[in-house]
Amino acid sequence: MKISIINGPNLNLLGQREPGIYGNQTFDAFFLELQAKFPQITFDYFQSNIEGELIDRLQQVGFSSDGIILNAAAYTHTSVGMGDAIKAIDTPVIEVHISNTFAREDFRHTSYITPNAKGLILGFGMDSYRLAVQSFL
């Protein structure tokens, strides 16, 4: 099974960005742990701060991967283009968020991803990604 993880803007700063909300772990460190937990899965990982690059990546892996785990970060709340990209591809997408976006500012309660995603996992810290992997299994 092949699973693609895609992270959006500012998630390259995990580990140093607002640790009270997003924790102290870098994504690279977490990704090593995740790969060790699921040795039977082939993972690939992509992060960008640029909306168009995230759409390109969805199109790139969206016809070959078995599952996509997408944390679109701030673009979740703004990007019609990312929502349309999910509709356009074949691979099912699980939307994840580290924080509970519904317990935060109102603008974070809107998602252009959710209506097109297979499911949504949020609020479990980095464990949201593991739960998403588990859901594909």
Catalytic residues: 22, 97
User: How does strand 119-122 pair with strand 93-97?
Assistant: parallel
- By C-beta, is 1 or 21 nearer to ligand DQA? 21
Provide, rounded to whole angstroms, the least separation between the CB of residue 101 and ligand DQA. Answer: 5
Q: Which of residues 90 and 106 has its CB atom nearest to ligand DQA in the complex?
A: 106
Q: Please report how close the Cβ of residue 22 comes to ligand DQA at its closest, in angstroms.
A: 7
Residues 6+ apart with CB under 8 A from 39: none
- The tokens for 61 are 């892996």
Nearest by Cα to 76 from 109, 106, 125: 109
Q: Are 14 and 117 in contact (CB under 8 A)?
A: no
How many whole angstroms separate alpha carbon 61 and alpha carbon 43?
Answer: 11
Task: By CB under 6 A, tell whether 98 contacts ligand DQA.
Answer: yes
- Least distance (Å) from ligand DQA to the CB of residue 32? 19
Which single residue is written with the structure tokens 């580990």?
15
Separation between Cα atoms, residue 97 and residue 127, nearest integer Å: 10
**Binding to ligand DQA, residues 53-82 (CB under 6 A):** 71, 73-74, 76
**Of 108, 119, 120, 125, the one binding ligand DQA by CB under 6 A:** 108
Site for ligand DQA in 9-28 (CB under 6 A): 10
Assess 120 for contact with ligand DQA (CB under 6 A): no
Query: Which stretches of the chain bind ligand DQA, using CB under 6 A?
Result: 10, 71, 73-74, 76, 97-99, 101, 108
